[in-house]
Homo-oligomer: A and B are copies of this chain.
């Protein structure tokens, strides 16, 4: 084959086609993990949305055995499940429903520097793509933004060749809930208990989020209620600018190129966290660059000098209000509620910084077990 023939075969590959082939990268390695991933993506979205809107989250998770045809098998034997997650969050405006649920790499959380469960704009659409691949069923969404608004019902799939939503159904419906979102997926899966199971994951969600009221209907028909034990939301994390210590050279170059600032000193002070006017001048001095230089004109050796100057200048650690720790009190609440023990402790460490990104380590421990717990373990 010649270079010309080979050239003629080159073409774009859609991100949906890529992740259909490489679904293990997104947590759909096998049917057991796929079931967990679907539940997790839907619950993540429910909690993120409610918290961002300042609403104490009420979440219902329903995992049912779905019968391909005939009577459904017992949960431990079943290979097909229907996952439904309902929240009391702010709802989703009608025109955003199809891309949020049926377009990979579409979201609101990717470009901001603050903590949230979801980040990439992939999760729930990937779950829908997995449903489409294994059962051929579209994702069903109902959403309503308030008591005065209509509830909208959608059925969507991804057009994998284009990575765009295909809308099968789009109508107003009557819905019992005044506000919130419901998403339902039918997928090939396996329901198992124990480590990395849906049961364990939801129990951990309840422990780590004592401000959430969670109801879980298991595929075996049991209803588990995890009541809210703290009546207030954790503080809202704030979006921050990147910290100069964490920036990579290529990112600095892109920022210099993209900035709206007219001077180097202005750029540094405006685009980074913890760079005051004085620090900005100091960096320019160390780099032997004019504070009035045009940011776009700085590349090559100048850019490398700037990068080195940044790393060698003393700059305050980034603010940590972009993260929202659970807090020791709330962790203890979660542990008391979920786990019977003789001894409880929890710790929230002070924030630390990696590559300019603040993070916090929190840990909770429950030790021993009441007679009730011992009896449960012995079952």
- List residues of chain A with CB under 8 Å of any chain B CB: 1-4, 6-7, 9-15, 17-18, 21-22, 25, 49, 52-54, 68-69, 90-93, 95-96, 99-100, 103, 105-108, 110-111, 120-122, 132-136, 145-146, 160, 248-251, 253-254, 299, 301, 303-304
Q: A10 near B249 (CB under 8 angstroms)?
A: no
Q: A250 near B133 (CB under 8 angstroms)?
A: yes
Chain B residues with CB under 8 A of A96: 7, 10
Chain B residues with CB under 8 A of A6: 49, 52-53, 90, 92-93, 108
When A133-B248, A134-B249, A136-B250 are in contact, do A105 and B7 touch as well, CB less than 8 Å?
no
Q: B69 near A301 (CB under 8 angstroms)?
A: yes
- A sample of 15 cross-chain residue pairs with beta-carbon separation below 8 angstroms, ordered by A number, consists of A1-B53, A6-B52, A6-B93, A10-B96, A12-B106, A13-B120, A15-B18, A18-B120, A18-B122, A22-B120, A133-B249, A134-B249, A135-B249, A136-B249, A136-B304
The 7 closest A-B pairs by CB, nearest first: A133-B250, A9-B108, A7-B93, A3-B145, A13-B105, A3-B90, A7-B96
Q: A2 near B90 (CB under 8 angstroms)?
A: yes
Q: B69 near A13 (CB under 8 angstroms)?
A: no
When A90-B1, A90-B3 are in contact, do A108 and B248 touch as well, CB less than 8 Å?
no
**A50 to chain B: closest CB distance in Å?**
11
Q: Which of B54, B120, B122, B133 contacts A251 (CB 8 A)?
A: B133
**A78 to chain B: closest CB distance in Å?**
16
Bound-state CA distance A108–B96 (Å) is: 34
Q: A3 near B92 (CB under 8 angstroms)?
A: yes
Q: A1 near B52 (CB under 8 angstroms)?
A: yes
Q: B13 near A160 (CB under 8 angstroms)?
A: no
Q: B4 near A93 (CB under 8 angstroms)?
A: yes
Q: A3 near B105 (CB under 8 angstroms)?
A: no
Bound-state CA distance A355–B207 (Å) is: 40
Chain B residues with CB under 8 A of A22: 120
Q: A136 near B13 (CB under 8 angstroms)?
A: no
Question: Which B-chain residue is minimally distant from A18 (CB atoms)?
Answer: B105
Q: B10 near A134 (CB under 8 angstroms)?
A: no
Q: Which of B14, B49, B110, B301 contacts A13 (CB 8 A)?
A: B110
**A228 to chain B: closest CB distance in Å?**
21
Question: Which B-chain residue is minimally distant from A52 (CB atoms)?
Answer: B1
Chain B residues with CB under 8 A of A13: 105-107, 110-111, 120-121
When A1-B53, A13-B107, A54-B1 are in contact, do A304 and B69 touch as well, CB less than 8 Å?
yes
Bound-state CA distance A249–B187 (Å) is: 11
Chain B residues with CB under 8 A of A1: 52-54, 90
Bound-state CA distance A121–B3 (Å) is: 17
Q: B249 near A15 (CB under 8 angstroms)?
A: no
Chain B residues with CB under 8 A of A250: 132-136
Chain B residues with CB under 8 A of A14: 105
